[in-house]
């Protein structure tokens, strides 16, 4: 037991009964007890701790839901990342609707992505989301140019959603929910330790099922439009079922995370 004393002060702002502190000072002995006079201190709310199953825990987090919420917020590109993902599709659909010419439409979409990438680099920001858009446009161009059909620009996205739908269902079925790997990123030394926490596994399964529902909606809407050769509506659907649908999914996941109270130290 360590006793901490601030001489000449009856009250210190930010410190009250039950508060957790990290203190720094010289330890003295008095009546067989350890004591520190007038130490420097830091509230525990500003500290990050580490738990075996979760890795680094954000400051102030007391439940599994709070930790997962922080992980998810780190993985979202924000409004700018969402715009960078949507603009190439808008450019392609508009240019194709006006010209009915596949190659120029793909070039315009690619040019939009390159401009976004150059802006990121000029501002010394992460190009991760712009590069993702560039990769998606390149894959779409390969499919469309090989077939000569404009609707095939959307085929990679539909196949991607189908693959993620199967993957999310499979990971839940085998009790390795996909969302759990977001937690693994915060604990690289023990990336699978989260599976030893029953509360984490259950929560991640629920959140993964939300993602599964999102991919199911994308496939259910876009596949019939693709089979009907509805290029214009495919463009509308891709934008509407992109970041707006993702925002809905995040809102549902947020509701789960806000209402849950799974303790960090649960077995």
**Can you give the pLDDT of all 267 residues of the chain as single tens digits?**
778 887 877 666 556 555 667 777 888 888 778 888 888 776 655 444 444 455 555 555 567 677 666 666 555 555 566 667 667 777 777 777 777 777 787 788 888 888 888 888 888 777 776 777 676 667 767 666 666 677 778 888 899 899 999 999 999 999 899 888 876 765 666 777 777 777 778 888 988 999 999 999 999 999 999 988 888 888 888 878 876 787 788 778 878 877 767 666 554
Whole-structure pTM over 0.85, yes or no? no
- Write the burial class of residue 127 (CB in 10 Å: 0-12 exposed, 13-18 middle, 19+ buried): middle
Determine the Cα–Cα distance for residues 118 and 121; give it in Å rounded to an integer.
5
Determine the Cα–Cα distance for residues 70 and 155; give it in Å rounded to an integer.
33
155-193 CB burial, b ≥16 within 10 A, e <16: bbbbeebbebbeebbebbeeebbbbbbbbbebbeeeeeb
């Amino acid at each position: 037991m360590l006793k901490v004393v601030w001489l000449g002060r009856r009250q210190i702002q930010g410190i009250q009964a039950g508060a957790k502190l990290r203190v720094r000072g010289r330890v003295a002995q008095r009546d067989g007890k350890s004591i520190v006079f007038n130490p420097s201190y830091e509230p525990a709310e500003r500290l990050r701790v580490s738990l075996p199953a979760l890795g680094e825990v954000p400051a102030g987090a007391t439940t599994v839901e709070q930790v997962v919420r922080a992980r998810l917020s780190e993985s979202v590109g924000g409004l700018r990342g969402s715009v960078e993902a949507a603009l190439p599709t808008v450019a392609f659909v508009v240019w194709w609707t006006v010209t009915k010419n596949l190659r120029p439409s793909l070039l315009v979409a690619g040019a939009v992505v390159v401009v976004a990438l150059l802006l990121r680099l000029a501002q010394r920001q992460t190009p991760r989301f712009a590069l993702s858009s560039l990769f998606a446009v390149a894959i779409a161009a390969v499919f469309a140019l090989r077939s000569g059909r404009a609707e095939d620009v959307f085929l990679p996205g539909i196949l991607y959603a189908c693959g993620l739908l199967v993957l999310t269902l499979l990971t839940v079925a085998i009790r390795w929910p996909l969302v759990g790997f977001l937690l693994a990123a915060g604990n690289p030394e023990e990336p699978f330790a989260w599976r030893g926490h029953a509360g984490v596994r259950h929560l991640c399964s629920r959140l993964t099922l939300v993602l599964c529902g999102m991919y199911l909606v994308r496939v259910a809407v876009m596949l019939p439009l693709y089979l009907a050769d509805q290029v214009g509506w495919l463009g509308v659907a891709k934008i509407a079922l992109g970041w707006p649908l993702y925002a809905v999914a995040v809102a549902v996941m947020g509701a789960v995370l806000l209402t849950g109270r799974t303790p960090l130290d649960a077995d």
